[in-house]
Chains A and B, each alone.
Chain A
């Protein structure tokens, strides 16, 4: 297997530190997430909704201090962008009530709302797609509205055959220049609230890019300069080769290692707990991270 490890209290514990609830684009409510985590026998978990910390407050209120409940680490996944590309930055172990992280959440929400409004304007001006005002209000009242929600609306009103077609042929057609949270802003917010910033699915950028070799390394150097502390080396979409490369990077740049599935309920075909880690001894850099968290 990988590098030699000492035994740790986390050996033989299942871990999944990356999943989404209905607060963002998952299909399960936080309550359902907790139930599924228990069902799957996961011992340590984190809920990482996009640009939202609300779910973590809910999960916390559901947990009893009894020893039967799994260990919970508050999490979040910020969508970030700068002139060099897109990033998803995870934050772990922060205080959900503290100001710095909530400022980033608010900033993200505002930008997102601006984008949704901008997109709706664009669709009306470019293609003449109109929606009833109560539908628009409902859309804007969602915790994290985005392209899929607009797409669904377009299907509902007959402007497109499917959500995918709506996004591909209309929503993404006009280049929409929105405002985005910068990676350094997300990292500062997480650190400022006592959390640990970790780069999500590093090779896949914000989800669907492929960033390899030198480009990947340059990203890590830059983000580490902003205060990044870890990388999600164990990820449901990684091959052994990718995972091993990321572990090498973690060694080279002294970063923690985390493991996440990116579970989205029925919205994506990913099993809870699927991240290539499994039960058994954990890598040293993950053990150090977990010791910090629990």
Chain B
């Protein structure tokens, strides 16, 4: 028994049953005699069995000493305590299996800990801080939430003791991070970018029930507030107001979406390292994507190689491909614009981090901070908002999504000086095509439609492309309806496509890579 800070610690050993319960109880009574309301801790490391005679002792101690904790209960003892309701009455901590990671291959180093491969299908994430249990619990909860919401991720199935701290055990069969695929097979960059973006879009398309995850915007506001004293007053205020102007978004963001956290297991792409999971606007996510692929290695390009394993140039190329796919555009201006907006948030984060970690006293810290600060200030001159509209929208082909589509097209038209009549014609035509996909492409099954909008400057022209993976169907092959016939004699349908052809400047169809691709063009 030991007493620290008035807490009484009692070690229980062997078995407690009717044979020795009375003697053990007397011993405990002696240890607790004369004490009042002190915390009591039962250490069950060496307890093999507890019968109801033992449970009664715990219950009686609990009555006199309400602040009672049990630690290191073996799984057998824990099960008894759970079934009898003791785990609901007092704090009971399970004993954790001890796992050694000595000599194990390190497959990842994160902010919170190191990931080791223990054997062919097991990895353990060993946490750095000794009181990691809460962090582990948090990560398990959010990972479970993500999985329920349809995000493929690895769920830890056990918590173990690793050295002085704890580890979370995952099953990961021959999983490879995208970083090593890119490092070893740069020729697979297109495939990697596509899978990486598909998963990212899936995350950003996932609505999270209110209150389940923190809002990344709050965190980013915190960074910007920290930056106030390091930026000229007007620039600091502008940065903060730009971030505050980003609307609240209930869709999921990962928070640390870099190529080591995206894994290929078999033919499934998995997301790991879920402790930063949050909700928020995609620009905040793109900021960390930028940082991980370019930002933090902008001054010293070798950093990317040492962290991700591939060259800075590969990172550059990958980022451009990712943004192009994410935004659904090949327009370099558009890609640059969104990258710049991501950089504003990205630099804010890195400058703050550098100040906090290395401080302004070290030469390396000063150099980094000055470098990023100069860029940030320049960007704050150029931009007034962090918002952007992707040129591509993927949505379930159901009628309820029509307003989403209309809003998406409208946003793009706002950027042009589109006459009201043309606008109406575009909206009408888009509705016709979308409703066609909804009704016929997948029936009776369900599927998705992808819509791309491009606005070109010279001549001003809007191009809207609809893609679906439904049955091949060329709506243009159908003969135009005879509009000279009376209403009764006319064939039903076909009128929508007819009107579309009439009002658009060009309508074309092709079937390619298993997709129906219908393109509308309207000159403004």
Contacts and interface: CB of A to CB of B under 8 A. Distances in A.
A is bound by B: yes
B380 to A, nearest CB: 59
B428 interface: no
B20 A168 contact: yes
Contact of A203 (B52, B53, B59, B60): B52
Contacts of A242: 84-85
A268 B29 CA distance: 12
B59 to A, nearest CB: 6
Nearest to A245: B85
B85 A237 contact: no
B59 A172 contact: no
Given A167-B19, A237-B52, A210 B60 contact: no
B513 interface: no
A162 interface: yes
B432 to A, nearest CB: 61
Interface in B1-46: 17-23, 25, 29
Contact of B52 (A208, A213, A240, A274): A208
A204 B23 CA distance: 20
Contacts of B51: 208-210
A164 interface: yes
A269 interface: yes
Contact of A168 (B19, B29, B59, B60): B19
A8 interface: no
Contacts of A98: none
B473 interface: no
B255 to A, nearest CB: 39
A237 B89 contact: no
A172 B19 CA distance: 9
B52 A209 contact: yes
B175 interface: no
Contacts of B19: 164, 167-168, 172
A283 B83 CA distance: 24
A207 interface: yes
A221 to B, nearest CB: 20
A212 B84 CA distance: 8
A208 B18 contact: yes
Contacts of B29: 269
A241 interface: yes
A241 B84 contact: yes
A210 B53 CA distance: 9
A164 B85 contact: no
A12 interface: no
B60 A164 contact: no
Indicate the size class of the contact surface on chain A.
Answer: 20 to 34
A204 B52 contact: yes
Nearest to B61: A269
A128 B88 CA distance: 50
Nearest to A244: B85
A239 interface: yes
A237 B59 contact: yes
A162 B23 contact: yes
Nearest to B52: A204
Contact of A240 (B21, B80, B89): B89
B56 interface: yes
Nearest to A172: B19
B55 interface: yes
A285 to B, nearest CB: 21
A207 B84 contact: no
A241 B85 contact: yes
A210 B80 CA distance: 9
B84 A269 contact: no
Contact of A207 (B22, B23, B53, B89): B53
A204 B84 CA distance: 11
Interface in B55-77: 55-56, 59-60, 63
B18 A207 contact: yes
Among A162, A207, A208, A274, chain B packs the most CB atoms within 10 A around the CB of A208
B86 interface: yes
A162 B51 CA distance: 21
Interface string B84-111: 1110110000000000000000000000
A208 B88 contact: no
Contacts of A162: 23
Nearest to A209: B52
Contacts of A210: 51-52, 55, 80, 83-84
Nearest to B60: A269
Contacts of B60: 269-270
B162 to A, nearest CB: 33
Contact of B59 (A167, A212, A239): A239
Contact of A239 (B23, B25, B88): B88
Given A207-B18, A210-B80, A237 B23 contact: no
Given A239-B84, A269-B60, 17 more contacts: A162-B23, A164-B22, A207-B52, A208-B17, A208-B52, A209-B51, A209-B52, A210-B84, A236-B56, A237-B52, A237-B59, A240-B88, A241-B88, A242-B84, A269-B25, A269-B29, A274-B63
28 contacts: A164-B19, A164-B20, A164-B22, A164-B23, A167-B19, A168-B19, A172-B19, A207-B52, A208-B17, A208-B21, A208-B51, A209-B52, A210-B51, A210-B83, A212-B83, A212-B84, A236-B59, A237-B52, A237-B55, A237-B59, A239-B85, A239-B86, A239-B88, A239-B89, A241-B85, A241-B88, A242-B84, A269-B25
Interface of B: 17-23, 25, 29, 51-53, 55-56, 59-60, 63, 80, 83-86, 88-89
The 4 A-B residue pairs with the shortest CB-CB distance in the complex, in nearest-first order: A241-B85, A239-B85, A208-B18, A237-B56
